[in-house]
Amino acid sequence: MKKTISFITENFNKSSPDLVGGFQGFQRAINMEKEDIIQEIVLSGLKGRGGAKYPTGKKLMQSAEHHDKEKYIICNADEGEPGTFKDRELLLHDPYGVFEGMLIAAFAINASHGILYLREEYKYMIDDLKNALNHMRSLNLLGDRILKTELSFDISIFLGAGAYICGEETSLIESMEGKPGRPRIKPPYTLEKGLFSKPTLVNNVATFSTISAIIRNGYEEFIKYGTVESPGTKLISLCGNVNKPGAYEVPFGMTIREIIYDIGEGIRNGNSFKFAQIGGVSGPLVLPKHIDTPFSYEDLNEIGVPMGSGAIIVVDSDNDILDYLDAVQAFFKHESCGKCTPCREGNRQLLNILSRLREGKYSQEDTINIEKIAKTMKYASFCGLGQSAPAALLSAIEHCPQEIFKRRD
Protein backbone atom coordinates (compact mmCIF):
# COMPACT_ATOMS: atom_id res chain seq x y z
CA MET A 1 0.00 0.00 0.00
CA LYS A 2 1.31 3.40 -0.94
CA LYS A 3 1.28 5.49 2.16
CA THR A 4 2.50 8.88 1.06
CA ILE A 5 0.26 11.39 -0.70
CA SER A 6 0.89 13.84 -3.53
CA PHE A 7 -1.44 16.70 -2.79
CA ILE A 8 0.86 19.51 -1.75
CA THR A 9 3.74 17.84 -3.56
CA GLU A 10 1.70 17.21 -6.73
CA ASN A 11 3.86 19.49 -8.87
CA PHE A 12 7.25 18.45 -7.53
CA ASN A 13 9.87 18.76 -10.27
CA LYS A 14 7.50 19.99 -12.95
CA SER A 15 9.19 23.29 -12.86
CA SER A 16 7.65 25.82 -15.20
CA PRO A 17 4.47 27.75 -14.49
CA ASP A 18 3.32 27.41 -18.10
CA LEU A 19 3.70 23.66 -17.88
CA VAL A 20 2.43 23.19 -14.36
CA GLY A 21 -1.23 23.81 -14.71
CA GLY A 22 -0.46 27.50 -15.33
CA PHE A 23 -1.04 28.73 -11.79
CA GLN A 24 -4.49 27.16 -11.73
CA GLY A 25 -4.98 28.01 -8.08
CA PHE A 26 -4.33 31.68 -8.66
CA GLN A 27 -6.43 31.66 -11.86
CA ARG A 28 -9.30 30.24 -9.87
CA ALA A 29 -8.74 32.69 -7.01
CA ILE A 30 -8.98 35.81 -9.18
CA ASN A 31 -12.40 34.71 -10.33
CA MET A 32 -13.62 34.33 -6.77
CA GLU A 33 -14.79 36.82 -4.19
CA LYS A 34 -11.97 37.57 -1.77
CA GLU A 35 -14.06 36.51 1.22
CA ASP A 36 -14.73 33.19 -0.49
CA ILE A 37 -11.03 32.49 -0.95
CA ILE A 38 -10.44 33.09 2.72
CA GLN A 39 -13.52 31.06 3.57
CA GLU A 40 -12.10 28.08 1.67
CA ILE A 41 -8.94 28.27 3.71
CA VAL A 42 -11.01 28.46 6.88
CA LEU A 43 -13.01 25.40 5.80
CA SER A 44 -9.84 23.50 4.93
CA GLY A 45 -8.87 23.66 8.60
CA LEU A 46 -5.31 24.56 7.62
CA LYS A 47 -3.10 25.54 10.54
CA GLY A 48 0.21 27.36 10.23
CA ARG A 49 2.96 24.91 9.37
CA GLY A 50 5.70 26.98 11.00
CA GLY A 51 5.01 25.49 14.40
CA ALA A 52 2.60 27.79 16.19
CA LYS A 53 -0.44 26.09 14.53
CA TYR A 54 -2.46 29.29 14.26
CA PRO A 55 -5.47 28.78 11.93
CA THR A 56 -4.39 30.19 8.56
CA GLY A 57 -7.90 31.20 7.46
CA LYS A 58 -8.40 33.21 10.62
CA LYS A 59 -5.07 34.95 10.13
CA LEU A 60 -6.00 35.89 6.56
CA MET A 61 -9.31 37.21 7.77
CA GLN A 62 -7.64 39.37 10.42
CA SER A 63 -5.07 40.55 7.95
CA ALA A 64 -7.75 41.56 5.43
CA GLU A 65 -9.15 43.98 8.01
CA HIS A 66 -6.17 46.29 7.59
CA HIS A 67 -6.57 48.61 4.66
CA ASP A 68 -3.18 50.32 4.51
CA LYS A 69 -1.83 50.98 1.07
CA GLU A 70 1.44 49.34 1.99
CA LYS A 71 1.02 45.87 3.29
CA TYR A 72 3.57 43.08 3.44
CA ILE A 73 3.43 39.35 3.02
CA ILE A 74 6.47 37.52 4.29
CA CYS A 75 7.17 33.91 3.52
CA ASN A 76 9.19 32.52 6.40
CA ALA A 77 11.94 30.30 4.99
CA ASP A 78 14.26 30.61 7.96
CA GLU A 79 13.73 26.90 8.69
CA GLY A 80 16.29 26.49 11.44
CA GLU A 81 14.71 23.88 13.66
CA PRO A 82 17.08 20.91 13.77
CA GLY A 83 15.68 17.93 11.91
CA THR A 84 13.55 20.07 9.63
CA PHE A 85 13.98 20.34 5.87
CA LYS A 86 10.46 20.37 4.45
CA ASP A 87 10.65 24.02 3.35
CA ARG A 88 13.92 23.25 1.60
CA GLU A 89 12.18 20.54 -0.41
CA LEU A 90 9.24 22.78 -1.32
CA LEU A 91 11.52 25.61 -2.46
CA LEU A 92 13.76 23.24 -4.40
CA HIS A 93 11.11 21.17 -6.10
CA ASP A 94 8.13 23.47 -6.45
CA PRO A 95 9.05 27.11 -5.84
CA TYR A 96 6.11 28.19 -7.99
CA GLY A 97 3.73 26.48 -5.58
CA VAL A 98 5.14 28.59 -2.75
CA PHE A 99 5.02 31.84 -4.74
CA GLU A 100 1.51 31.04 -5.96
CA GLY A 101 0.36 30.69 -2.36
CA MET A 102 1.81 34.12 -1.64
CA LEU A 103 0.01 35.53 -4.68
CA ILE A 104 -3.31 34.04 -3.65
CA ALA A 105 -2.89 35.47 -0.16
CA ALA A 106 -1.86 38.85 -1.61
CA PHE A 107 -4.97 38.92 -3.76
CA ALA A 108 -7.21 37.92 -0.86
CA ILE A 109 -5.88 40.53 1.59
CA ASN A 110 -4.75 43.25 -0.85
CA ALA A 111 -1.05 43.16 -0.07
CA SER A 112 1.47 45.32 -1.91
CA HIS A 113 4.84 43.65 -1.30
CA GLY A 114 5.98 40.09 -0.87
CA ILE A 115 9.27 38.96 0.64
CA LEU A 116 10.80 35.54 0.92
CA TYR A 117 13.03 35.46 4.00
CA LEU A 118 15.53 32.77 3.06
CA ARG A 119 17.97 31.43 5.63
CA GLU A 120 21.61 31.98 4.76
CA GLU A 121 22.18 28.25 4.79
CA TYR A 122 19.82 27.93 1.78
CA LYS A 123 21.67 30.51 -0.26
CA TYR A 124 22.52 27.86 -2.83
CA MET A 125 18.92 28.04 -4.04
CA ILE A 126 18.83 31.77 -4.56
CA ASP A 127 19.64 31.83 -8.30
CA ASP A 128 16.92 29.32 -9.12
CA LEU A 129 14.44 31.20 -6.98
CA LYS A 130 15.29 34.51 -8.64
CA ASN A 131 14.91 32.90 -12.05
CA ALA A 132 11.50 31.60 -11.05
CA LEU A 133 10.46 35.09 -9.97
CA ASN A 134 11.74 36.59 -13.21
CA HIS A 135 9.81 34.03 -15.15
CA MET A 136 6.68 34.98 -13.27
CA ARG A 137 7.33 38.64 -14.06
CA SER A 138 7.61 37.83 -17.74
CA LEU A 139 4.16 36.23 -17.56
CA ASN A 140 2.69 39.16 -15.62
CA LEU A 141 2.22 36.86 -12.64
CA LEU A 142 4.09 39.54 -10.71
CA GLY A 143 4.20 43.25 -11.29
CA ASP A 144 1.52 45.80 -12.07
CA ARG A 145 -2.10 44.79 -12.45
CA ILE A 146 -1.38 41.09 -12.43
CA LEU A 147 -3.40 39.24 -15.11
CA LYS A 148 -5.54 42.40 -15.50
CA THR A 149 -6.74 42.32 -11.90
CA GLU A 150 -6.34 45.29 -9.58
CA LEU A 151 -3.52 43.44 -7.79
CA SER A 152 -0.05 44.97 -8.11
CA PHE A 153 2.42 42.86 -6.22
CA ASP A 154 6.02 41.74 -6.43
CA ILE A 155 8.19 39.35 -4.45
CA SER A 156 11.79 39.96 -3.40
CA ILE A 157 14.19 37.78 -1.48
CA PHE A 158 15.91 38.70 1.78
CA LEU A 159 18.81 36.50 2.75
CA GLY A 160 19.31 35.89 6.47
CA ALA A 161 22.73 35.80 8.09
CA GLY A 162 22.59 32.74 10.32
CA ALA A 163 20.42 32.94 13.43
CA TYR A 164 17.76 30.41 14.43
CA ILE A 165 15.84 32.98 16.43
CA CYS A 166 15.10 34.89 13.22
CA GLY A 167 12.52 32.21 12.45
CA GLU A 168 10.41 33.85 15.14
CA GLU A 169 8.41 36.35 13.18
CA THR A 170 9.19 39.52 15.10
CA SER A 171 12.91 38.67 15.19
CA LEU A 172 12.71 38.04 11.48
CA ILE A 173 11.29 41.51 10.99
CA GLU A 174 13.93 43.09 13.23
CA SER A 175 16.60 41.45 11.11
CA MET A 176 15.01 42.73 7.89
CA GLU A 177 15.20 46.20 9.38
CA GLY A 178 18.96 45.81 9.79
CA LYS A 179 19.05 44.96 13.49
CA PRO A 180 20.01 41.94 15.58
CA GLY A 181 17.13 39.46 15.49
CA ARG A 182 15.75 39.80 18.98
CA PRO A 183 12.02 39.21 19.47
CA ARG A 184 9.70 42.15 19.98
CA ILE A 185 7.14 42.43 22.71
CA LYS A 186 3.58 41.68 21.55
CA PRO A 187 1.19 43.43 21.11
CA PRO A 188 1.33 45.14 18.72
CA TYR A 189 1.01 42.06 16.55
CA THR A 190 2.75 41.89 13.21
CA LEU A 191 -0.63 41.65 11.46
CA GLU A 192 -1.14 45.23 12.52
CA LYS A 193 2.39 46.62 12.90
CA GLY A 194 5.06 44.46 11.35
CA LEU A 195 7.80 45.31 8.89
CA PHE A 196 8.48 49.08 8.92
CA SER A 197 5.42 49.34 11.20
CA LYS A 198 3.12 48.30 8.35
CA PRO A 199 0.58 45.46 8.50
CA THR A 200 2.45 42.26 7.80
CA LEU A 201 1.31 38.70 7.25
CA VAL A 202 3.97 36.12 8.05
CA ASN A 203 3.43 32.53 7.06
CA ASN A 204 5.62 29.50 6.71
CA VAL A 205 6.74 28.17 3.31
CA ALA A 206 4.64 25.02 3.68
CA THR A 207 1.59 27.06 4.65
CA PHE A 208 1.80 28.96 1.37
CA SER A 209 2.32 25.76 -0.64
CA THR A 210 -0.69 24.24 1.04
CA ILE A 211 -2.79 27.34 0.32
CA SER A 212 -2.07 27.03 -3.39
CA ALA A 213 -2.84 23.29 -3.42
CA ILE A 214 -6.12 23.86 -1.56
CA ILE A 215 -7.31 26.64 -3.85
CA ARG A 216 -6.20 24.71 -6.94
CA ASN A 217 -8.13 21.58 -6.00
CA GLY A 218 -10.83 22.92 -3.70
CA TYR A 219 -10.82 22.45 0.05
CA GLU A 220 -13.12 19.41 -0.26
CA GLU A 221 -10.27 17.47 -1.85
CA PHE A 222 -7.91 18.42 0.96
CA ILE A 223 -10.18 17.39 3.81
CA LYS A 224 -10.72 13.96 2.28
CA TYR A 225 -7.40 13.20 3.95
CA GLY A 226 -6.55 13.31 7.60
CA THR A 227 -8.72 13.27 10.71
CA VAL A 228 -11.71 15.38 11.69
CA GLU A 229 -9.64 17.67 13.89
CA SER A 230 -6.52 17.60 11.70
CA PRO A 231 -7.79 17.61 8.16
CA GLY A 232 -5.51 17.17 5.19
CA THR A 233 -1.91 16.26 4.73
CA LYS A 234 1.43 17.53 5.90
CA LEU A 235 4.97 17.39 4.67
CA ILE A 236 7.12 15.83 7.38
CA SER A 237 10.90 15.65 7.69
CA LEU A 238 11.79 12.15 8.79
CA CYS A 239 15.39 11.68 9.88
CA GLY A 240 17.78 10.30 12.47
CA ASN A 241 18.46 6.59 12.65
CA VAL A 242 15.90 5.54 10.03
CA ASN A 243 16.84 3.62 6.89
CA LYS A 244 15.15 6.04 4.52
CA PRO A 245 15.24 9.60 5.79
CA GLY A 246 13.46 12.23 3.71
CA ALA A 247 10.60 14.67 3.36
CA TYR A 248 7.30 12.85 2.91
CA GLU A 249 3.75 14.06 2.50
CA VAL A 250 1.52 12.08 4.84
CA PRO A 251 -2.14 12.26 5.78
CA PHE A 252 -2.73 13.23 9.40
CA GLY A 253 -3.69 10.23 11.48
CA MET A 254 -0.98 7.86 10.36
CA THR A 255 0.74 6.44 13.45
CA ILE A 256 4.31 7.25 14.38
CA ARG A 257 5.11 3.55 14.00
CA GLU A 258 3.79 3.53 10.42
CA ILE A 259 5.80 6.62 9.61
CA ILE A 260 9.01 5.11 10.96
CA TYR A 261 8.63 1.54 9.77
CA ASP A 262 6.59 1.80 6.58
CA ILE A 263 7.71 5.13 5.19
CA GLY A 264 11.15 5.33 6.77
CA GLU A 265 11.69 1.59 6.21
CA GLY A 266 12.59 1.00 9.83
CA ILE A 267 15.62 1.62 11.95
CA ARG A 268 19.22 1.17 10.78
CA ASN A 269 20.92 -2.16 11.43
CA GLY A 270 17.63 -3.55 12.70
CA ASN A 271 18.19 -1.68 15.96
CA SER A 272 15.35 -0.99 18.33
CA PHE A 273 13.54 2.31 18.75
CA LYS A 274 14.73 4.26 21.77
CA PHE A 275 12.86 7.53 21.42
CA ALA A 276 11.88 10.14 18.88
CA GLN A 277 11.65 13.88 19.02
CA ILE A 278 8.85 15.48 17.09
CA GLY A 279 8.80 19.03 15.81
CA GLY A 280 12.55 19.46 15.96
CA VAL A 281 14.41 19.79 19.24
CA SER A 282 11.88 22.00 20.99
CA GLY A 283 9.55 19.26 22.19
CA PRO A 284 9.55 16.45 24.75
CA LEU A 285 10.87 12.99 23.91
CA VAL A 286 8.43 10.49 22.46
CA LEU A 287 9.04 7.14 24.14
CA PRO A 288 8.35 3.57 22.94
CA LYS A 289 5.03 3.47 24.80
CA HIS A 290 3.80 6.28 22.53
CA ILE A 291 4.91 4.85 19.22
CA ASP A 292 1.36 3.92 18.18
CA THR A 293 0.11 7.48 18.63
CA PRO A 294 -1.43 8.86 15.46
CA PHE A 295 0.39 11.83 13.98
CA SER A 296 -2.31 14.48 14.38
CA TYR A 297 -2.64 17.67 16.37
CA GLU A 298 -5.16 16.16 18.77
CA ASP A 299 -3.43 12.84 19.37
CA LEU A 300 -0.01 14.38 19.90
CA ASN A 301 -1.64 16.86 22.23
CA GLU A 302 -2.93 13.92 24.31
CA ILE A 303 0.65 12.85 25.00
CA GLY A 304 1.81 16.43 25.53
CA VAL A 305 3.80 16.72 22.33
CA PRO A 306 3.49 19.79 20.10
CA MET A 307 3.68 19.04 16.38
CA GLY A 308 6.02 21.98 15.83
CA SER A 309 7.70 22.00 12.46
CA GLY A 310 6.67 18.43 11.72
CA ALA A 311 10.16 17.02 11.98
CA ILE A 312 10.46 13.48 13.29
CA ILE A 313 13.91 12.65 14.62
CA VAL A 314 14.26 8.95 15.34
CA VAL A 315 16.90 7.76 17.80
CA ASP A 316 17.92 4.13 18.21
CA SER A 317 19.22 2.01 21.03
CA ASP A 318 22.87 2.70 20.21
CA ASN A 319 22.52 6.23 21.51
CA ASP A 320 22.78 7.68 24.97
CA ILE A 321 20.04 10.05 26.09
CA LEU A 322 22.49 12.35 27.89
CA ASP A 323 24.57 12.72 24.76
CA TYR A 324 21.45 13.60 22.82
CA LEU A 325 20.33 16.14 25.42
CA ASP A 326 23.75 17.71 25.31
CA ALA A 327 23.29 18.34 21.57
CA VAL A 328 19.85 19.82 22.24
CA GLN A 329 21.06 22.19 24.94
CA ALA A 330 24.20 23.16 23.03
CA PHE A 331 21.97 24.16 20.14
CA PHE A 332 19.83 26.40 22.33
CA LYS A 333 22.81 27.90 24.12
CA HIS A 334 24.31 28.82 20.78
CA GLU A 335 21.04 30.23 19.44
CA SER A 336 19.77 32.09 22.51
CA CYS A 337 19.57 35.77 21.52
CA GLY A 338 20.60 36.86 25.00
CA LYS A 339 17.69 39.22 25.57
CA CYS A 340 16.35 37.55 28.71
CA THR A 341 18.17 35.99 31.65
CA PRO A 342 16.33 32.67 32.07
CA CYS A 343 17.23 31.57 28.55
CA ARG A 344 20.67 33.15 28.27
CA GLU A 345 21.89 31.82 31.62
CA GLY A 346 19.67 28.76 31.85
CA ASN A 347 20.99 27.01 28.78
CA ARG A 348 24.55 27.61 29.92
CA GLN A 349 23.86 26.20 33.38
CA LEU A 350 22.02 23.20 32.01
CA LEU A 351 24.95 22.38 29.76
CA ASN A 352 27.31 22.56 32.71
CA ILE A 353 25.19 20.20 34.75
CA LEU A 354 24.72 17.89 31.75
CA SER A 355 28.45 17.65 31.34
CA ARG A 356 28.81 16.52 34.97
CA LEU A 357 25.95 14.05 34.51
CA ARG A 358 27.67 12.62 31.44
CA GLU A 359 30.79 12.04 33.47
CA GLY A 360 28.68 10.45 36.17
CA LYS A 361 30.18 12.87 38.69
CA TYR A 362 27.50 15.19 39.94
CA SER A 363 26.31 16.56 43.24
CA GLN A 364 23.00 16.23 45.02
CA GLU A 365 22.51 19.92 44.27
CA ASP A 366 22.84 19.28 40.55
CA THR A 367 19.91 16.86 40.64
CA ILE A 368 17.74 19.53 42.22
CA ASN A 369 19.04 22.51 40.28
CA ILE A 370 18.68 20.93 36.89
CA GLU A 371 14.93 20.75 37.25
CA LYS A 372 14.68 24.12 38.92
CA ILE A 373 16.57 25.86 36.13
CA ALA A 374 14.66 24.02 33.43
CA LYS A 375 11.33 25.01 34.93
CA THR A 376 12.38 28.63 35.36
CA MET A 377 13.27 28.71 31.69
CA LYS A 378 9.99 27.11 30.71
CA TYR A 379 7.87 29.60 32.65
CA ALA A 380 9.92 32.79 32.67
CA SER A 381 11.59 33.04 29.27
CA PHE A 382 10.55 35.90 27.02
CA CYS A 383 9.93 33.91 23.85
CA GLY A 384 9.26 30.44 22.53
CA LEU A 385 12.93 29.58 22.22
CA GLY A 386 13.69 29.74 25.91
CA GLN A 387 10.30 28.37 26.89
CA SER A 388 10.72 25.21 24.86
CA ALA A 389 14.48 24.75 25.21
CA PRO A 390 14.21 22.57 28.35
CA ALA A 391 11.26 20.46 27.09
CA ALA A 392 13.32 17.45 26.06
CA LEU A 393 15.34 17.48 29.25
CA LEU A 394 12.28 17.78 31.49
CA SER A 395 10.58 14.87 29.76
CA ALA A 396 13.70 12.74 30.09
CA ILE A 397 13.96 13.49 33.82
CA GLU A 398 10.32 12.58 34.25
CA HIS A 399 10.25 9.40 32.19
CA CYS A 400 13.73 7.94 32.32
CA PRO A 401 15.54 9.31 35.38
CA GLN A 402 17.63 6.13 35.55
CA GLU A 403 19.33 7.15 32.31
CA ILE A 404 19.97 10.69 33.50
CA PHE A 405 21.28 10.10 36.98
CA LYS A 406 23.91 7.40 36.66
CA ARG A 407 26.60 7.87 39.24
CA ARG A 408 29.99 6.55 38.28
CA ASP A 409 32.14 7.40 41.26
Ligand X SMILES: Cc1cc2nc3c(=O)[nH]c(=O)nc-3n(C[C@H](O)[C@H](O)[C@H](O)COP(=O)(O)O)c2cc1C
Window of 10-18, 150-158, 162-170, 357-365 that interacts with ligand X by CB under 6 A? 162-170
* Pick 105 or 404: Cβ nearer ligand X: 105
Is residue 270 involved in binding other proteins (CB under 8 A)? no
Is residue 339 involved in binding ligand SF4 (CB under 6 A)? yes
**Interacting positions 78-107 with other proteins (CB under 8 A):** 79-85, 87-88
* Pick 82 or 251: Cβ nearer ligand SF4: 82
Is residue 327 involved in binding other proteins (CB under 8 A)? yes
**Interacting positions 380-399 with ligand SF4 (CB under 6 A):** 381-383, 385-386
Binding residue for other proteins (CB under 8 A) from 315, 357, 373, 377?
315
Window of 29-37, 94-102, 161-169, 370-378 that interacts with ligand X by CB under 6 A? 161-169
Alpha carbon distance 132, 99 (integer Å): 9
Binding residue for ligand X (CB under 6 A) from 20, 260, 313, 383?
383
* Pick 80 or 232: Cβ nearer other proteins: 80
Is residue 119 involved in binding other proteins (CB under 8 A)? yes
Is residue 49 involved in binding ligand X (CB under 6 A)? yes
Tell the smallest beta-carbon distance from residue 179 to other proteins (Å).
Answer: 7
Binding residue for other proteins (CB under 8 A) from 46, 163, 215, 385?
163
| Residue 319 contact, options ligand SF4, other proteins, ligand X, none, Cβ 5-8 Å cut-off depending on partner type | other proteins
**Interacting positions 186-205 with ligand X (CB under 6 A):** 202-204
Site for ligand X, rule CB under 6 A: 48-52, 54, 76, 78-81, 165, 167-169, 202-204, 207, 383-385
